[in-house]
């Protein structure tokens, strides 16, 4: 009897299943509301734009953009600048403008790109606001973090513009090497720790990977007469300082929290990217990018979103709620849950979200998940 009841609840579209989903949506909404009340409501608007702009101002004035003294337990715009030196000449002209003239268009651009990214992933328009208020999206949208654009490049690399949720095969010769390389390079242009998609591209399209390296190398060479070699040395020293575990704002990368174990797991995750097939690869590469990240913050969990959209909504809501707790334990519980469920979903169709009109709660009719094509899967 008990097993029959569990089976009925798991049957997609049944009334018990819809009630479970509704309850989990309520829990997820409360978790997100708590995140907003506890942290996001007091988050400094544009802080992640202000940090690089202040660094560029110091550089223009002949000062030091990479301040070792910034590694304190203080938050806000005094946090350390971490972008590569070639970002400084790009940012310098913006320092001549009033902050509002830079901040307002920038935040508007991020919001528009976030919306378009959700559509490409297959999120229905009416549910996009629910995705954007989730902390991994909300935090960079409020703070003005460039991660929204880098994640958009990731989605553009692995999902086709031909329709919402349609995956792209990066090994398809119909996509020129320079376009694949441009997107792979863009993902790690300002956050070099996000090199895992580039590794995956290099496994299947080595010319595209070389183009990405040429793009980054070209940016470094063109700007080298302006920034100088000393600035690059200071940037490398800044990266070393960021690994200090005494820095409270250093994030929750596994290699930082558990150095001995974490470094090994991160290395295996990075190597694992080389064994990911090209069909529907974006979800797996996204998970491995999170696990293998040398530096991980809330907005880095955006790379979990494609896998969350693919798996059963009940499970993805649990994971989303764990992330919204804004705790390291909650974030890593969500990462492990997503990784395990997505790995098992290839053999257990019941773990995948069926395609159809019931994106949130499921259709009013009883439909088995086994006969449905997963959202975003190629026909």
- Evaluate whether 250 touches 75 at the Cβ level (below 8 Å): no
Identify the pLDDT of residue 358. 57
Identify the pLDDT of residue 370. 34
Mean pLDDT in consecutive groups of 10 residues from the start of the chain, 379 residues: 51 78 94 92 91 96 92 82 96 96 97 97 94 97 97 96 87 90 96 95 95 96 96 95 87 88 90 90 96 94 96 94 95 96 90 70 44 33
C-alpha span between 201 and 278 (Å, rounded): 9
Q: What tokens were used for 353?
A: 């979200």
Identify the pLDDT of residue 15. 79
First to last CA, the chain: 38
Surface-to-core class of residue 162, CB atoms within 10 Å of its CB (0-12 exposed, 13-18 middle, 19+ buried)? exposed
């Amino acid at each position: 009897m008990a097993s029959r009841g569990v089976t009925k609840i798991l049957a997609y579209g049944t009334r018990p299943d819809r009630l479970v989903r509704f309850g989990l949506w309520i829990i997820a909404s409360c978790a997100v509301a708590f995140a907003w009340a506890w942290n996001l409501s007091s988050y400094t608007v544009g802080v992640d734009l202000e940090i690089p702009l202040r660094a560029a101002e110091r550089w223009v004035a002949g000062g030091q953009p990479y301040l070792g003294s910034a590694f304190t337990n203080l938050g806000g715009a005094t946090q350390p600048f971490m972008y590569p030196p070639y970002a400084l000449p790009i940012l310098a002209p913006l320092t001549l403008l009033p902050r509002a003239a830079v901040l307002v268009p920038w935040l508007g651009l991020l919001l528009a790109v976030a919306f378009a990214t959700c559509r490409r992933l297959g999120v229905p328009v009416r549910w996009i606001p629910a995705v954007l208020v989730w902390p991994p999206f909300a935090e960079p949208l409020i703070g003005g973090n460039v991660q929204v654009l880098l994640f958009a490049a990731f989605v553009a690399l692995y999902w086709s513009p031909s329709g919402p949720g349609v995956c792209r095969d990066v090994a398809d010769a119909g996509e020129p090497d320079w376009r694949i390389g441009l997107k792979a390079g863009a993902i790690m242009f300002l956050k070099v720790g996000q090199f895992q998609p580039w590794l995956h591209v290099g496994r299947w399209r080595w010319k595209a990977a070389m183009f990405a390296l040429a793009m980054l190398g070209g940016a470094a060479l063109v700007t080298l007469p302006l920034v100088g070699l000393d600035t690059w040395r200071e940037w490398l020293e800044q990266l070393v300082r960021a690994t200090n575990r005494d820095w409270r704002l250093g994030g929750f990368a596994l290699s930082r929290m558990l150095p001995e174990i974490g470094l090994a797991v991160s290395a295996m995750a990075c190597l694992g990217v080389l064994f990911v097939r090209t069909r529907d690869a974006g979800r797996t590469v996204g998970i491995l990018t999170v696990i293998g990240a040398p530096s991980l913050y809330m907005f880095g969990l955006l790379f979990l979103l494609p896998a969350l959209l693919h798996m059963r909504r009940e499970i993805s809501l649990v994971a989303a709620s764990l992330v919204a707790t804004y705790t390291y334990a909650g974030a890593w519980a969500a990462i492990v849950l997503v990784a395990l469920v997505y790995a098992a979903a290839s053999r257990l169709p019941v773990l995948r979200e069926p395609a159809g009109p019931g994106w949130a709660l499921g259709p009013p009719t009883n439909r088995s998940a086994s006969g449905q094509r997963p959202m975003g899967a190629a026909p």
